[in-house]
Amino acid sequence: MEFIDYYKVLGLTKSATEADIKKAYRKLARKLHPDLNPDDKEAHAKFQQLNEANTVLSNPENRKKYDKYGKDWERGEEYEKYQQQQGQSQRQHSNSGQQSYGNYEGEDFSDFFSSMFGQSGGRASQRSQAQYRGQDFNAQLSIDIKEVSQTHKKELAVNGKNIRITIPAGIEDQQTIKITGFGSEGSNNGPKGDLYITFSIVNNTPFKRVGNDLYLDYDLDMYTAILGGEITVSDFDNGKLKLKVVEGTQSGTKIRLKGKGFPVYKKEAQYGDLYVTYQVKIPTQLSEKEKELFNELAQISKK
């Protein structure tokens, strides 16, 4: 039977602290746990070895023995005094709050472990159950841009359950929010997982949204563009905004209306800006009289 380097199993060196061992074990246990890899024999084998490494290195007496005699494990007579201390140290260790992910039916320990520490030592550690956090859920939610212009509540069906959530104003397209505790149940009274919702925002309005700002193209008739005047523009909430157009306004002219844009996410009473771009429209299908007048204007402009 081969010597097993438990430090290598955990990705550590002999200088590792107790905190290093605990952290490495928990990280690998979450990755290799049989509940998450039900049909992966390789992961199962690695998990068994991981449990052995944790059982040995997280116990001061076991670690001391392993460090001193590990590669010479066949010298069993030299282990006797440690073997006598095994029962007491395990009882102390079981009360220390050390967590283990290894208590599931059907686990066997390696011959190396059994020869060095005894099979019972492994089983005693196995009975120290740990809380295991539930898995997270992920969901996609399609929502109209008008809905996210104000904070509101919405009922969703998630994994067969109806939940009511609050959607803050200003949510952006493809933004993900976390709803704590709405994932799957944990094991051994462990905490529930979380629910992550990614929003897909549908925009069927004439407004283009960029962050918290809104952009609107406005068709401006040629006469108002030339002579100037006053127009009325609807904002995102269908409010009416009166704007003055100066004489000689060119197509493509952009004006900024401060604070008339989209709500800022989770910031009460804060809004982006609204940008209105004038698109000057040239008249078509002119009457004979209109053509005559334009010709007169053309002659005047040449003088």
Q: How far, in Å, are 76, 123, 241 from residue 126 at the CA level?
A: 24, 5, 72
Domain boundaries, the chain: 6-126, 137-202, 213-302
Q: Is 240 a residue whose pLDDT tops 70?
A: yes
Quickly list DSSP for 26-90: HHHHHHH-TTT-TT-HHHHHHHHHHHHHHHHHTSHHHHHHHHHHGGGTT-GGGGHHHHHHHHHHH
Convert the pLDDT of each residue in 246-276 to its tens digit: 999 999 999 999 999 999 999 989 999 999 9
Q: Is 73 a residue whose pLDDT tops 60?
A: no
Convert the pLDDT of each residue in 143-169 to its tens digit: 999 999 999 999 988 878 888 999 999
Q: Using pLDDT thresholds of 50, 70 and 90, give the confidence band for residue 86.
A: low
Q: Is 136 a residue whose pLDDT tops 80?
A: yes
Q: Is 286 a residue whose pLDDT tops 90?
A: no
Q: Using pLDDT thresholds of 50, 70 and 90, give the confidence band for residue 69.
A: confident
CATH of 213-302, one of 3.40.50.11540, 2.60.120.650, 3.40.50.920, 2.60.260.20: 2.60.260.20
Q: Is 228 a residue whose pLDDT tops 60?
A: yes
Same fold for the domain at 6-126 and the one at 137-202? no
Q: For residues 181 and 196, is the Cβ–Cβ distance under 8 A? A: no
Q: Is 118 a residue whose pLDDT tops 70?
A: no
Q: Is 128 a residue whose pLDDT tops 50?
A: no
CATH of 137-202, one of 2.60.260.20, 3.40.50.2300, 3.20.20.100, 3.40.50.150: 2.60.260.20
Half-sphere exposure of 260 (CA within 13 A, CB side): 20
- According to CATH, the superfamily of the domain at 6-126 is DnaJ domain (1.10.287.110)
Task: Report the SS3 class of residue 126.
Answer: helix
Q: For residues 61 and 81, is the Cβ–Cβ distance under 8 A? A: no
Convert the pLDDT of each residue in 190-202 to its tens digit: 888 889 999 999 9
Q: Is 76 a residue whose pLDDT tops 80?
A: no
CA distance 92 to 25: 20
Convert the pLDDT of each residue in 18-36 to its tens digit: 999 989 988 888 788 776 7
